[in-house]
Chains A and B, each alone.
Chain A
Amino acid sequence: MTLSNLLTITPWPAVSAAILLLLVMAALYFARGTAHQLLLAAAGALSKGLRVASHAIIHGQARLAARNREVLLAAGRESKERIVEREFARVADTVRKDLAGYPDMHRRLSESIQRIEEDQEKAAEVPPEAPGWAQAVKVVADLDKRNSGGGEILADIHKSLVKAHEEAMDIYRKASGERHALLRRMMPDWRQVREALAHVGKSVESVIGRSQTIDRHMQEYEAIVRGEDHALSVLSSSSIVYFFISALVLAVATAGTAVNFTLIARPMAEMVGGTNFIGGFRTADIAALVVIMVEISMGLFLMESLRITRLFPVISALSDKIRVRMVIVTFLILLLMASIEAGLAYMREVLLLDEMATNALLRGDNAGSIAGSHLWITTAAQMGMGFVLPFALVFVAIPLETFVHSLRTVVGLIGIAVLNALALVLRLLGNGCRHFGALACRVYDLPLFVPLWIETRILAGNGNGHATAAEAKAWKEARS
């Protein structure tokens, strides 16, 4: 039934329209209570559902935050344990090295001190003998009173005295010289003692420095174990920094891989054919990529075997003997691969020259002009890069490990942020739905303002002008 049909229920469309309007208004008026309930219930249900969803997401976010916290703390604990372990190893090395040399150093010090003591004793200054000439002068003086010919005697005495003085001086000089020689001989011993003590001092300072570092790390470790917020905040920010730094280094490594790929993809076509395809990719390209991936894998195993990275606990748990064997094997494989790459890089240059020469011949150019005397530089450079890049890619393991570890935290943080935003949006939508229900009721009442006004009047009349509070509220609601 169309609108035009409805307007023909009376011969006058306007009257038909008015009747229809009245009927609709009546229907709406009588269904008002139920419609309001329906609208409010629907809006309430939707709002409640959204709020429940928001709460669920908040719970999920809390669980994720707790998990992220655990991951961060575990990572921090592990990192600190490794640092402390390394510091202890260094202290142990220092102590072992110094203690191993201690008996020898002690013997040398004792010998030096003994020699110094002996030399010191020998170098002690012998007090000069008491002068005998004073007594002689007294005897001469007594003689002078009794004998007038004492002049000659005095001259002899004088002579003897001068001679004795000279002899005494000679002996004294000789003794002083010997003492100085002894003192001079003591100098290397003093120097040796000083060096030994300086070495001891240096070692002690190193141990003290390391112990302070260990102390600091232990404090941080304890804070992590206690799960302090400050420690968590530090770990979180460190993790984000590590993530970006390792991502940057990995991007550089990817560029290196691309260069490596370019070096070996062309000559690979000579080995596996230039027109074979696997899926949509050239077999030669896939082979080159596989070679590079194998090199990176070997690099990872090498780093694991050296215990520089700890991505594979199985390798770390191997016995030292097997680990050393693994280091040797992986290094040899890497060396082999690097040599192959260098050969392929050389082959690439040869192929390139061959192709250039063929194209020049086909174009009618002078093929000889292509070959330059400096081409060996590019050939050597390519070979060098082919040999060095596999070893350089070994170090990708370090940023890769950091990236993997920090990725967990960063993904967790991003997840928390996304869940937070989602919870907020759902909450806003829930509130919006609630208000939308109230708004829908008002919109429903809008075309019913006439019957509602009449109803209020009637109710007011029945109650002698005292409409109940509920009715007045209904009218107010309708008017608002």
Chain B
Amino acid sequence: MRPGSIKRQKIKQKTVTVILTVCAIFCAAVFLFPTVMTIANSFMTQKEINANYGTMISNFDRDEGKKTYISDKLNLKLIPDKVSAEQYKTVLFKSSDYLMKFWNSVILVVPIVLFQIVVASLAAYSFARYRGKLKEMLFFLYVILMLMPYQVTLVPNYLVADKLGLLDTRLAIILPGIFAPFSVFLLAKVMRRIPKSYIEAAKLDGAGEIQIFTQICLPLSRSAIFSVTLLLFIDYWNMVEQPLIMLSDSDYHPLSVFLSKINSGDVGLAFAVAVIYMIPTLLMFLYGEDYLVEGITYSGGIKG
């Protein structure tokens, strides 16, 4: 080959890389757009929010706000006219309603995630350590259950909650949540990869089953447990279907459901509430992105 053609090829390759990079950055901007917008808008004054988005609220009383300007068109703005923490102050110190709903989310999600991890790691150990025909069938049943949509699983859940008198209490959501099979499936897949020789060695040293579980299996699958915790948390933090059906009293509703209702009322506050609601998951993402990626990778492929 002549040196000229190699050079030309290099230039061609460089151009392709530049074009691809530009495309990728454009896509990334589109993906980040709604989140960044929400955060930016949370620092606007309530007056500015009302001026920009007032027309969206059908029952917004124009006469009442005589002096406030409301634009006919919605103005989506990235940079506030005046950066202010007014929305946050109101949410945190004046209207405790939103904080209550945030707390509702916490006391629904935290017990589900914690107990599901405990129940699931025990079951996963059993699935991974001993296998037989019956076990395989049971595992298959868990997989099917895991893949069922809410439209199917909520009906039996509702019937049990009704029988046990749990309807309209948080337990109606928490208890079925604890036994959801998703984390059993993932953890069993991970624990099956632990080499048998480790366990044999521990046995020779006289370790009992409980010691093998706590001293070998749990430490070796620690990162998988983190990953599952993350996946579970983001899933339940986002829950909408269960509270709508199990909790008729909206005082108990988590913020994920309640947010859609304040959107039509207090638009001036909604952005700050939205940001407060995404803080826990965003923090987890910031510190646990690698675990998240690992967890998603484990979930690939249905069979162990």
Asked if A and B are interacting partners, one says no
Q: Which residues in A have some Cβ–Cβ distance to B below 8 Å? A: none
